[in-house]
Structure 1
């Protein structure tokens, strides 16, 4: 048997029902008081006890209505029900006993029974009904004892009234329990719908692709930030808005036409469109559309509760930036080329070594200057090919599984100072670098040999682009107040072209014809392997010439307590 729970009683429908019972008790008490006054006035009698009981009942009901209007009692049997049910039973019994020969108050027993059945447990409802039945039988016995009425009729009337109260109590409790179940089901459905709505909104808001939800009238009901950005225009548009009632509607006509074609044909569409706003570059989009199911079943009559606009289908439009898609495809192609190049480079290395050795042996027997120049050209180009092969194989080496990498820590300042000294010692006259170490004794999670490779690549790259000034190349370390350590390599070279900056860390991309384009890519792979990050900025640094703008590459290290992210298993090569 279903029981009424406290959480159910806290719901607004049961609070309103509780207030209804309290208001009904006040009205019944007021009616009793008025009837007592009229009855005693018409019969020219004086019964102060009955009048006092009616007045006290009215006052208690009014106080309870004001004091407990928002606090229904708990359903379980307990002393909390004595204030309401106990008071009703006591008042009805007292009035019935005081005016035995006049008025019949037994129908008023229905109020406490209904109250117990709706707001209490089934046991409380049946217990209250049993008490009332015993009172009715006791009343029949009292009538018989005083010779009032027929004994059989009095007992039969009391028994029938008690049985009727039992039926009413059971039915009222079942209806209340059904209301509780429906209310709980409605609350669960509402919570589920709200959760799904919040999750959907969160997912849509975080998508990189644009999402538009519009109807057949081209009115946009939902748009995520990516969609608003892809729609273009100088000012963002607030949702809801229309794709036809705006100053930018001419540029959005391709989207409107695609949505209308989806509604007419009744199935999804896909197309490449171009949005051209005045004084702006065209935006190339790949658009896909989906149609939501109809709100009503085919052939079913329309629901009166839904308007015509609420019954219509909606078009969900997905907007993809063609430039971003092409960039992803280009990156995937470059990755595939890198994997193939690694395999090819591995096969080239052995024949190239044989060529180099054979040329060295041949060069020992050559005496003609022209022939020696040819042998030197062979040697130089073979060395260049060897460097390119090593760079390509470096990609495979840095992409090995993460468990093969040592999870080491190092003292950043000491390691950077040592590596810079080694790099500078190779060509002291040409390799001049100013080192400013401000990280103190900070430990970072990085392998020493890998940091040497990253720093060597960054220094070699900066050396090629710096000016002849002695302070044109600077290396610095620092820590933030939160303990985040970083390493920066700065040079006073010319600013990078935006087309070059976009592809700095892509493999096989270089602004120089004699470079393999793998140095910065290897730096990024090594940093990611150890949970660090690398980025490029155009920054000003103090020099003896004043503040000078230059190119800065900054490596931000992970905290030593954090484990490095595992390398991808899809780009793993073992050389």
Structure 2
């Protein structure tokens, strides 16, 4: 029938459960009728005692059969409902006729089958059942009047019939409304399942990583790309980003975003971090169970954040989008390097020679001109000539991709000699630059190249450090894969994410005296020695007060079986 065929599978299952509940209630009613017979045999049955008893026992047996049928015979639903309602009306009618003094109380039992019909059967069938009951009561009243016996008044029978019709109409309408609501919920649920399946396919297949976290950084979910980028084992969740030392850069960037956007804002903002395995000598734990899937290679990630609209702060969720930009940056660096190569060919002749002539002419004029105003102008010309000449030297040096010296380099003696030279040339106190553990294991790096990289980093650190004792620290850290890292750290302010995004780009600088090539050249020299220079946030490993995440430059030396990668953060330099 259309009544049953138009229902969804969920609604049909609800109807079967309701029918089972109706059959179970029928057993309870039959037991109550038998108990009533046992306590009040005279009043309950009178002359029809045997008929009353036999009917109740038969009703109990039929109720048990209906229970089994509703559980094991899961077809012909409407037929089962019709048969059960017909049996209920017939049994109650027989009991009603068999009872003598308690007919008024048995009339109420008709509400049970009529309400069941209103809920489980079409409205027309429910109204037909109510009409049958009303006709039975009216005919029985007329028959009692005809015989001159005391029975239910005709008016009372009519009122009972009207009440039955009203109850059937109300219950039927309520049941129909509930069915429509359930059908709507079922359709929405099916649409939601389809949408969730689509979202899961898209999220699982997309190249960008997606993390769902709460306001404290606890991970609730992540797609496979995010698990691969962060090195998480499959299904790892429930821990905070800050609890894993190697994920501290992500946790720090997330905290900075929360601090800047505020609780009411939700606009995404990009941040760049490097995630790689290491053991934090400051006490961080990089070996937790959540880090069981950590790969040995570093990942340079671009992070974007978005806040999910939720009803309260307790259920607040944020989404972190992760993009591995290592390959993109490498391609960009190759393009820039190719452009630099073409540029250096013309710089050598077209710029350097005229620049030398300008510098020489400025020096000759300085010997003859002694007025303060003229001397000031000549000094401006000389300073700018020196600045352009330094830029030309840096650019020319980028093209000198000579094979580095492959001899092993012991960091300890090398750094001690470099520190003494740096203190003397820069005129700084001996205690400003602090050398920590420099390691006894040799590293693969050309000594001249490493000297130039470290001089650049120390000069940059000297510009921003406080100048106090130990304000610049240089020390070696061994990462989780057994590789060596050289850290250069100062106590100055950290680098903002905006500056970090362009930190190693050529010609980018925040200093009026810089060319923007210092850090770019330092990284190129590291790459030429199969190493990597980056700026990272780590837990303080050797001082600067309370243990907290702070920025530092990190040189990751090459491994015996290959080079390790990385990429990261810092102030613009010379």
TM-score (norm 1): 0.49
The higher relative CO (CA closer than 8 Å, separation ≥ 6) is in 2
TM-score (norm 2): 0.49
